[in-house]
A and B are shown apart, each in its own frame.
Chain A
Amino acid sequence: MPFISNTDKDRKEMLAEIGVKKFEDLLTDIPKKFILKELCSLEEPYSELDITRKISELAAKNISTEKAISFLGAGVYDHFIPAAVDHIVLRPEFHSAYTPYQAEVSQGTLQYIYEYQTLICELTGMEISNAGMYDGASAAAEAILMASRKTKNFKAVIAGTINPLYLEVIKSYTEGIGIELVYVPSKNGMVDLEALKDAIDDNTGCVLLQTPNFFGNIEDAFAVEEITHTSKKALFIVAVDPISLAVLNSPSEYNADIVVGEGQALGNAQNYGGPLFGFLASKLFLARTIPGRIVGETLDADGEKAYCLTLQAREQHIRRAKSTSNICSNEALCNLAATVYMTLMGKEGLKEVAIQSTTKAHYLAGKISKINGFSLAFEAPFFKEFAIKTPVLAKEIIEKLKSKNIFPGVDLKQFGYENMLLIAVTEKKRKWDLDELINSLKEFSR
């Protein structure tokens, strides 16, 4: 039997020590009528070789972004990952360890989380970071709950240019607990600042802005901050692309109170959308309202430096119904991958990734907008992603280019924008790849 050490002989000996004849004698508390009389209906067990063949066959039915030229983004991005990242992640000491509750035998996990928190704070300009959330969407949702707890104001104002998938998760998290969501419409692919002013009052708990926003456009966070803080209590939450922060304003420059985002781009593969991980950082005065784990430095009994989980009085295993969130398991190993990635890339590497992604995106956008019938959907400045208007249904383009293994972008029709494609570019794309897309789109010119 796979992965079970004990033999029938061991079982027999153990049952005898326990003082029963057979396994079934141990089931005294289970009502007889509930005990299954037949085995579950599953396939016969696979050997390691058989399952390897089956899985390889199934994987071969997929077309990976390595085998295609992909411009898909909208929250998950195909950035380069150095080989060393996975070698660290696969270390059993990280891979098969539990949550670091027993600090004395978990210093490895605790220290990398402390370093992760430091890196996230450096990137965002915040003073405290937690050890991670499920994904960018749930991090944004929990940030809204955080702001409501702190301000006791239960109106959350959300810029309509936020990733619509974030919005759906936010709705799930805020429905039924008395939080009112107010959407501010977008204007030319940016949040409408006049409408934002109208949406805010002294009952506002927070304003949530994404920049670069869902369309890739860089929002005027300085202006949004100014409007947000005209309200007495409102906190300014910003959702950011961590790669962008190598070149774009640090959220502390525009005085954000809470910063969240999707961390997958930092050293984690796309994995068909999961696992992802969310990061969440804030100013220090919000420390006690933060959800999830936080690691702090302390001393051991000999007075030596050591690390442990801290501010645990916020967490479910201590405070139960009074905790700041129900989160327990997070995406720790993804945070480790991000930590290794950020240290390998360093200041120069991350900046180069950001610059190459941006400049290649702009080259591509410039060329596409010159094709008859195609145009940039918005005039706003953008980072590594942009929306284009297409002369035919975006679906038609996607369908046709599929045969060439080109994934030209995300069809925005599903989010209410007809004839529009959202195109993401990372440093992995060569000029040759970009030209392939440009030439393919020419077929659709009008």
Chain B
Amino acid sequence: MAKTIFEKHSQGRKGFTLPKNDVEVSLGECIPEKFHREEDIKFPEVSELDVMRHFLELSHMNHCIEKGFYPLGSCTMKYNPKINETLVRNDGFMNLHPFQDEDTVQGALDILYELQNDLAEISGFANVTLQPVAGAHGEFTGLKIIRAYHKLKGNTHKKKIIFPDSAHGTNPATVILTGYEVVEIKSNDKGMVDIDDLKAHVDDETAGFMLTNPNTLGLFESQIEEIAEIIHGVDGLMYMDGANFNAIMGIVKPGEIGFDIMHFNLHKTFATPHGGGGPGSGPIGVRDDLVKFLPVPMITKKDDKFFLDHSFKETSIGKVQSFFGNFAVNVRAFIYLKMLGAKGLKRVAENAVINANYIMKKLEDYYYIPHKDTYCMHEFIASGKWQKEKYGIKTLDIAKRILDKGFHAPTIYFPLIVPEAMMIEPTETESKETLDEFITAMIEIAKESEKNPDVLKNAPINTPVKRVDDTLAVRQLNVKFEW
């Protein structure tokens, strides 16, 4: 392992230069002694070269899209175009302060306004807010809007949000965070919402329903119309988790198939980088009568001038972020969308779906694939069930062996309803050759689990560190370096 930056400290070394202070005032004249820090902060003292070498060394221990295939289900790890990075670093974007006068940020507001409109167009919603900064933040905003809707209608009896057992963990967590009760319903043997179970759980207290579509099994919920009818029948609202929107862009509009609210993950579908965990952007779109509840401000246009609209503050849910969301992420998504156009958008979805079906087809003889009787959308679930039953190999072992072959592992043990699940999402940016290499590796691993199971149990061996003990990390909690 690399040394920590703290172990590279050498007193007096400097990694910065600053201009000389040209006002003749001392700190003591400004701030009473009582408020001065007792001891200087203990930060490492290192040179710029020390810093560059340190972080380069760390970077070499990471997988990334430019290094290789990243088939993480529900994460849409597509290639992030480099032009976005060049253009977003324009002085006219990076160095804008959120309290600047509107006249001085017309270009920025123009982009946000156009992005709101374009996202509304492709999702079939009346308007879109760009304020939420992540998918879960979008869910939070969406459920606050459901609350506001019921509050305005005097629906004080609405207490429950329903979601299927295939839902992302953020769904139930968000339900609790917004003060609702969770109601989890079953999926049927086809991997879709069990309508009977839904009916059994829907009642007058139902405030809304959260659904990922296509769902986390990679299947389009074919009974969406009936589901929406049931939920709307008790004046509940339909929320779409848009994590899997990549599969259906330009093919269907969520606003036209029964959904009232949805979030986008611009860091998935719209090619902005994941950044090792963020920053993302989680805009939400809503139907016409819900626009008044969106967070303030919205970006609007009047007489060719763009401005920040706070006029609906009375009905708005308020603010979920201090300003206008992750502006720099939204600019990247804007560039991507403009480069795709309507045809490109559709082509993205098509190729994402084809790539996923191609892998699924090629692996069906080697891994248990619970829903191979139907075509998948942009991702599918394989399972290590056969390997576990026959050879005692866990999906975790398979995943770690995939790392050895130079690929990132799929999302594993999710969705929870498929034992030993591996959720595979190739995205549209990957070539047939890359998919073939991955397929070959997966077949090799299936064979290894029969003939040489130890190689899986000991995997990974080709990575910067061997299998990491995460239970020890909890037992001997060490979350900062002592020096």
Contact = CB atoms under 8 A, between A and B. Distances in A.
Contact of B173 (A70, A104, A321): A321
Interface string A1-13: 1111110001101
Contacts of A54: 338
Contacts of A36: 250-253
A389 interface: no
A177 B1 contact: no
B362 to A, nearest CB: 7
Contact of A98 (B111, B136, B274): B274
Contact of B277 (A18, A66, A315, A332): A332
A134 B141 CA distance: 14
Contact of A97 (B4, B62, B99): B62
Interface in B1-57: 1-2, 4-6, 13-16, 18-19, 21-23, 25-27, 29-32, 34-46, 48, 51-52, 54-56
Contacts of A56: 87, 90
Find the residue from A29, A63, A334, A348 having the highest chain B CB count within 10 A.
Answer: A29
Contacts of B464: 104-105, 107
Interface in A1-48: 1-6, 10-11, 13-15, 17-20, 23, 25-31, 34-36, 39-48
A240 B116 CA distance: 34
A46 B81 CA distance: 14
Contact of B375 (A2, A4, A26, A172): A26
Contact of B351 (A11, A82, A102): A11
A358 B25 CA distance: 9
Interface string B214-236: 00000111101100000000000
A169 B322 contact: yes
B468 interface: yes
A97 B253 CA distance: 30
A238 to B, nearest CB: 13
A296 B474 contact: yes
A17 B361 contact: yes
Nearest to B27: A355
B208 interface: no
Nearest to A166: B322
A333 B339 contact: no
Interface in A346-400: 346-353, 355-356, 358-363, 381, 383, 398-399
A328 B170 contact: yes
B465 A3 contact: no
A296 B473 contact: yes
A245 B40 CA distance: 9
By size class, the interface of chain A is: 35 or more
A272 B306 CA distance: 15
Nearest to B362: A17
B4 A350 contact: no
Contacts of A42: 118, 121-122, 337, 340-342, 345
A226 interface: no
B100 A407 contact: yes
B95 A43 contact: no
B152 interface: no
A168 B118 CA distance: 28
Interface stretch (B198-206, B283-291, B326-334, B384-392): B326-334
A134 B133 contact: yes
A305 B1 CA distance: 6
Nearest to A407: B100
Nearest to A422: B99
B417 interface: no
A5 B437 CA distance: 15
A39 B349 CA distance: 13
B21 A359 contact: yes
Interface stretch (A86-94, A185-193, A200-208): A86-94
Nearest to A351: B40
A122 to B, nearest CB: 5
Contacts of B256: 34
Contacts of A253: 37-38
B7 to A, nearest CB: 11
B347 interface: yes
B189 interface: no
B66 interface: yes
B321 A169 contact: yes
A265 interface: no
Contacts of A399: 101
Given A39-B342, A41-B121, A172 B317 contact: yes
Contacts of A136: 322
B164 interface: no
A307 B352 CA distance: 33
Contact of A349 (B18, B95, B140, B257): B18
A40 B121 CA distance: 7
A434 interface: yes
Interface string A267-287: 001111111110000000001
Contacts of B273: 95-96, 333
Interface string B231-265: 00000000000000000101111001100000000
A300 B468 contact: yes
A227 to B, nearest CB: 17
Given A36-B253, A343-B5, A351-B40, A26 B465 contact: no
B110 interface: yes
A42 B249 CA distance: 13
B339 A46 contact: yes
B64 interface: yes
Given A28-B375, A431-B23, A306 B468 contact: yes
Interface in A85-137: 86-88, 90-100, 102-109, 111-112, 114-115, 117-119, 121-123, 127-129, 131-132, 134-137
A246 interface: yes
Interface string A210-240: 0000000010001000000000000000000
A118 B481 contact: yes
B174 to A, nearest CB: 4
A362 B362 contact: no
A124 to B, nearest CB: 10
B106 interface: yes
Nearest to B341: A45
A444 interface: no
A107 B248 CA distance: 34
B185 interface: no
Interface string A295-316: 1111111101111111111011
A138 interface: yes
Nearest to B57: A108
Interface string A63-94: 11111101010111010101010111011111
B366 to A, nearest CB: 15
B376 to A, nearest CB: 8
A304 B91 contact: no
B41 A356 contact: no
B51 A275 contact: no
B320 A330 contact: no
B179 A59 contact: no
B358 interface: yes
B107 A62 contact: yes
A70 to B, nearest CB: 6
B212 to A, nearest CB: 14
B250 A40 contact: yes
A271 B324 CA distance: 10
A446 interface: no
B122 to A, nearest CB: 5
B55 A358 contact: no
26 contacts: A4-B348, A4-B429, A5-B431, A10-B432, A14-B355, A70-B100, A84-B48, A93-B59, A93-B60, A95-B273, A100-B276, A105-B460, A106-B62, A134-B321, A247-B37, A273-B97, A297-B478, A304-B465, A306-B468, A317-B414, A327-B136, A333-B273, A346-B44, A363-B25, A407-B100, A434-B23
Given A6-B351, A26-B375, A34-B257, 6 more contacts: A18-B357, A105-B408, A274-B323, A321-B172, A360-B25, A381-B35
Interface pairs A-B: 5 shortest CB-CB: A273-B323, A273-B98, A59-B92, A45-B341, A61-B107
